[in-house]
Structure 1
């Protein structure tokens, strides 16, 4: 678009390159600076993340109207999911960095349950704008296919071993011997070591590790998928994967976490199970062997995606921008 210009300014784990953002802001003098942040967005380095998360504070201090969309908070994650050990220094550092990141004029959260935490601890001027959903222009296919899909960044909070163990038990079932497992996504930049485990299982027992795929390839992939599985040990905010794939009308099975419960309550087609192999195996078997059940859950996902299409979410942000520059 002629109205959108993308300018790469910083590199992961590079403190000096992160500070280039401030230099550029001072040069172009924007009406609004909108940061889209998570606790580990700037890389594996604690120093780089701390410096990056101070940007909203510095920007506001320089006199610019500032908004922060914050995806997660120390109170809602384990420090380990941000690449940190649980100790007083890291916990204090996370709190201070989050306080600075939330020092914008307005903070946007994506999970309704986070609002009270943020208003109480970080910024009273906090609002909810949900995550947007992709692919609402694609016609959904509610027919079940004998393929299980995991998609997303891969790190310690994604329990792929549980998924593989459950898949192997399913494959022992006479009616499910032809099922396949697709694992799609790159290891999280903070945890590159997970690639070894993925390469070890790729090509065995009808398991395919496909690595990262571009968004334009997702509709073709979803034609082969019957059910999406999100076996998370912990969530680091609302699920981007749910919003990415809901419009395709496929059922989703996920572990029992606040963020998934909230999405289900708001209409998403998610079956929530205990984070145990036997519970995943039992639920996946029911869905894979029941077209009616899969279709019913899938239709809920499609309806959920329609309510959160990006055009609707964009209008919410536009109103927010207009309120800030009045």
Structure 2
């Protein structure tokens, strides 16, 4: 089977590049698959990852992406075109973003089987945190774009509520719920001896500046260190593309505080050390845009999670059996109470760690990718049988074998 994976891809740092990398890496491990990554162009040239077949054919914020990708897909002649998407994957410019979201439908019309993994829905995005000037226009465009995405052969979403929305509101068909999954095939159990020695490291990780902001966490941490002097805050990640300079402004404000460390962008190979040496992951979000990749990283390393009381995260925790403590959204005191309560209870920390690690074992990347491949393989088999079915179809005017025998059989007259 030949698969074209359309996604942002490292060394690009665009949204979902890490998830695209882990999908491609898992597909590469299957010897019967041929995988070509149709990735975003880099702003500055960098060496490609050697083990992958990467063709950088589309450009962020470009209106020419539909024609570029159509040409590349025709050249590849794939059996499956798999899109790994956010609504903003192809651009922050509304026209570029919208035109990119029409590509799965036009690809299907071109004769290719298309599948979309959609990481969020417009209905669940708080546009006030994205500095959107015309939210009603965005909602309308998002509605149309969602219907265009549903024109693909099939679509996967990462929360059950999203599937219900696509079926009930949009009358979507062939919509699947599939778990986000962790980014590993064999996660290692947590090493409890590394936590709290000498400091309890409180980790915040993400792309900052929109619905992920640090002001509340900073104020809350001031309350935490008054009760737990051995606490240390680690802020990792980078700016959201729509808020350049945000992280630098926060780091500048707290540059003289030794209890707060800003580590910046974390390379893939450095993520395990960052999570294994932390005591808890904090998600100080004001809203959510789907199932959290950061939460699944924490589960992979058996790390307890504290996050804002947001419905999407509640559903994620309930559906996947994650150990998460919730604080009142927007309340610095509630967040401080949850952090202190957890760090003061070794028993609770261990229980939540084991719960998250157990959840991680149930959704490793091989297990998740196997679900997709079974679906793709089923389509391939059905498609292969279609020409045979057409060949075997008998015209309506040809009498069936049973009809011929009935015509030739003698008519028995009852004995009088």
Output the TM-score relative to the length of structure 1: 0.94
What's the C-alpha RMSD, in Å, of the aligned pairs? Answer: 1.8
Residue 167 (structure 1) aligns with = 221
The within-5 A match list for 1:64-103 is 64-81=112-129, 84-103=132-151
The within-5 A match list for 1:248-267 is 248-265=301-318, 266-267=320-321
Residue 13 (structure 1) aligns with = 61
The within-5 A match list for 1:151-166 is 151-166=205-220
CA–CA distance in 2 between the matches of 1:215 and 1:139?
19
Greater mean deviation of Cα atoms: 129-138 or 109-118: 129-138
SS of 1:13 mapped into structure 2: coil
Residue 240 (structure 1) aligns with = 293
Deviation at 1:178, TM superposition (A): 2.5
User: Unaligned stretches of 5+ in structure 1?
Assistant: none
The within-5 A match list for 1:78-227 is 78-81=126-129, 84-122=132-170, 123-135=172-184, 136-143=186-193, 144-145=195-196, 146-173=200-227, 176-205=228-257, 206-227=259-280
CA–CA distance in 2 between the matches of 1:263 and 1:90?
26
Output the TM-score relative to the length of structure 2: 0.74
Q: Please identify the structure whose Cα radius of gyration is greater.
A: 2
Deviations 1:1-21 (A, max 9, x none): 584422222222122245311
Greater mean deviation of Cα atoms: 196-205 or 316-325: 196-205
SS of 2:239 mapped into structure 1: coil
Structure scoring higher RCO (CA < 8 A, sep ≥ 6) equals 1
CA–CA distance in 2 between the matches of 1:236 and 1:254?
14
- Asked whether the equivalents of residues 171 and 177 of structure 1 are also in contact (C-alpha less than 8 Å), the reply is yes
- Asked whether the equivalents of residues 98 and 145 of structure 2 are also in contact (C-alpha less than 8 Å), the reply is yes
**Distance 1:93-1:117 versus aligned 2 partners, 3 A rule:** same
- Asked whether the equivalents of residues 133 and 308 of structure 1 are also in contact (C-alpha less than 8 Å), the reply is yes
CA–CA distance in 2 between the matches of 1:54 and 1:115?
20
Deviation at 1:82, TM superposition (A): 5.2
4+ runs of 1 displaced by more than 4 Å?
none
**Distance 1:198-1:15 versus aligned 2 partners, 3 A rule:** farther
- Asked whether the equivalents of residues 239 and 247 of structure 2 are also in contact (C-alpha less than 8 Å), the reply is yes
Find out whether 1:30 has 2:74 as its counterpart. Answer: no
SS of 1:152 mapped into structure 2: strand
SS of 1:7 mapped into structure 2: strand
CA–CA distance in 2 between the matches of 1:203 and 1:256?
30
Find out whether 1:43 has 2:91 as its counterpart. Answer: yes
The within-5 A match list for 1:284-295 is 284-295=339-350
- Asked whether the equivalents of residues 150 and 173 of structure 2 are also in contact (C-alpha less than 8 Å), the reply is no
